[in-house]
Amino acid sequence: MVWGMAVVCAGVLFSGCGSAPPAGKVLVTGTVTVAGKPLNRGIINFGSADGTSAMGSARISPQGEFSVHLRPGDYNVAILDPQAGMRPPSTPGGRPTSVKSVVPSRYESANTSGLKLTAAADGNPVTFALE
């Protein structure tokens, strides 16, 4: 029991929670809203606007918040709802069910979302307001 607690405590201490960003990266925090209310689930993806391999992603919390470490620079942004789509039947012989996305479809691709971000060391939170 004592050994198990030591492992848990070590995991918490070395998990990086609250630590400085990795070398060469900045912490980006923010909120995603839909129709003025926090988006309660989703994934936010960042792809470099200049075509380099710089990218990142983060889970959106039930309060609509996210945080991610990115290299400084310009990014195109997409927001996805991983829970959307068809679900298998819950009983044998039953019908599949459809789960509607909480994210308007235009935001699911960085090519159509129109969402941009400049990751900088200023640490100012960003807001993505989806319509």
Q: How far apart are alpha carbons 47 and 76 in whole angstroms?
A: 5
Q: Do strands 26-34 and 65-70 pair parallel, antiparallel, or not at all (unpaired)?
A: antiparallel
9 band by pLDDT with thresholds 50, 70 and 90? very low
Kindly report, residue by residue over 58-100, the tens digit of the pLDDT: 999 999 999 999 999 999 999 999 999 888 888 888 888 898 9
Kindly report, residue by residue over 32-58, the tens digit of the pLDDT: 999 999 999 999 999 999 988 889 999
What pTM was estimated for this model as a whole? Answer: 0.79
Label residue 51 left, alpha or beta by phi (over 0 means left) and psi (-120 to 50 means alpha): left
Spell out the domains of the chain, with CATH numbers in brackets. 21-87+95-130 (2.60.40.10)
Q: What does the block give as tokens for 112?
A: 């159509």
